Amino acid sequence: MPTSRYGRVLLVGLVLLTAVALWQTRDGTPALALVNAHPQRVMGTDCTLVAAVAPGDIARAQKALEAAEAVIRDVEARMSVYVEASELSRLNRAVAGENVPLTADTLGVLRIARDAASKTAGAFDATCPPVLLLWKDAGERGKRPSEDALSAAREATGWTRFELTSSGAQKKMADARLDLGGIAKGHAIDRTVGALKKANVKAGLVEIGGDVRVFGPGPKGQGWAVHLRHPFRKGSCGTIELQDAAVCTSGSYQRFTEIEGQRYSHIIDPRTARPVQDVPSVTVVAPDCITADIWATALSVLGPEGLEKLAAIDGLEALLITGRPEDFAIHQTPGFARLLRDPLRLE
Ligand code: AMP
Ligand code: MG
C-alpha cells in the first residue's frame, strides 16, 4: 500500500471513516488540512482517498470524498465481471448479434481497451476471458490444460469478435467474452481524480489496491512520495516522488494459481494462451492511471523487450523485475531511475 509523507495520517484514517490532520508550515501555522477516507471493499480491495485543502474547507473536502467514493462504486457496478447486473456481465451473457446498450463511460473504456490491443502488439487483450477461464478451471482441477484446449481458447479471443457501435456493443460469436480487470481500476482512479478536481480540491491522492494517482502539489509544495511494493516479500523496495501522475503495479507475486507444483500468474499472454512467467513485478508511471494500468499488464506479457514500445510514448516510465528471488534482474527506463528517491532495495 502506498503511503505519502503523511504516513501517520493515513494510519489514523484506517480507524475512522474520515480523518483530518493539519500540515504545519515551518513557522507552525497550519497550511493544509489533509482529509482522508478509506472506503471498504472497493473493487475487491482496499482504497485510500486524500484531499489536501485549506483548514477552512474540511467539511467541503469530506463531501468531495463521499462523492469520489460514489464514482468508484459506479465504475465497479458497470464494469465488473463479478457484478451480475453490470453492463459488462450483460454483454458477456448476450447472444451473438444482440445490441447491448452501454453508457458512454463504459463504451469509452471498451474503445480504449480495443486501442490498447493494437498499441501493445496484442499483449493487452480484454477479450482474453476464454483463456482466463481455461486456466481458472485448470487451477480448480489441478491439471494443466491440453494443447487442443489452449488453441481452442486462443481462437475464441480477439476484438474481431466484437463490434462497438455508437451506443453499445455486439458480440459476433456466442462464446466471445470481455474482462476489464486490467483497466477498470485505472479508469476508476482517473474518474475519481476528475471528480475531486471538479469539487475544487486542488491536491490529493486516490489509491485502489496499490494503484495510485496524485494531483496538485504534495504537502511541502513538491511531489508526493509513493512506496513500491517489494516483488518477493512484504514491505517496500523503494520510494518514488510523483507530481500529477499515476503509478500502477502488476505482479504475479500477488495473485497466482498453483497447478502440479508450479505457480501460474493471473496475467496471461494472449499470443500463447499461457500465463506469463518470470516477470514478478512491473511498475509503470504515466500521466493518467488508465494508461499506467494498461502498460503494467502489457509489460508483464512483453517483458523487458516491451520497454522499447513504451519508450516511444511520451510521459511513460517503467520498472520491470524479472527472474526469481535468488536470481533476478532489474530493467528500467532512465526516467524511472530519476523518480527513485534512493536506490532500490531488493535483497
Ligand atoms: P493487472 O493486475 O492490472 O495487471 O490486471 C490483471 C487482470 O487483467 C487479470 O486478473 C485479468 O482479469 C485481466 N488480464 C489478464 N491477462 C490480461 C491481458 N493479457 N490483457 C488484458 N487483461 C488481462
Ligand atoms: Mg493493469
pLDDT digits (tens, 9 = 90+) for 289-312: 999 999 999 999 999 999 999 988
Contact between 215 and 197 under an 8 Å Cβ cutoff? The reply is yes
pLDDT digits (tens, 9 = 90+) for 315-329: 999 999 999 989 999
C-alpha cell at 119: 498499441
pLDDT digits (tens, 9 = 90+) for 126-142: 999 999 999 999 999 99
Average pLDDT over residues 45-50: 95
The alpha carbon of 32 and the centre of ligand 1 are apart by a number of angstroms equal to 38
**Which residue has the least CA distance to atom 15 on ligand 1?**
267
Nearest to 242 by CA among 219, 224, 215: 224
Mean confidence (pLDDT) of the chain: 90
Nearest to 300 by CA among 110, 180, 151, 124: 124
Contact between 177 and 125 under an 8 Å Cβ cutoff? The reply is no
Name the closest ligand to CA 267: 1
**Which residue has the least CA distance to atom 16 on ligand 1?**
267
Which residues form the pocket of ligand 1, taking CB atoms under 6 Å from any ligand atom?
124-126, 128, 132, 179, 181-182, 250, 266-268, 270, 293, 296-297, 301
Could you give the strand order of the β-sheet that contains 203-208, starting from the edge strand earlier in sequence? 18-24, 30-37, 47-53, 203-208, 211-215, 245-251, 281-286, 317-324, 327-332
pLDDT at 23: 62
pLDDT digits (tens, 9 = 90+) for 91-121: 999 999 999 999 999 999 999 999 999 999 9
Residue intervals in the chain for CATH 3.10.520.10: 3-78+186-339
Question: In terms of CATH architecture, what is 81-171?
Answer: Orthogonal Bundle (1.10)
pLDDT at 26: 60
**Verdict on whether the full-model pTM lies above 0.85:** yes
Centroid of chain to Cα 162: 24
Residue intervals in the chain for CATH 1.10.3980.10: 81-171
Q: CATH number of the domain at 3-78+186-339, out of 3.10.310.10, 3.10.520.10, 3.20.10.10, 3.40.462.10?
A: 3.10.520.10
Nearest-atom number in ligand 1 for the CA of 254 is 2
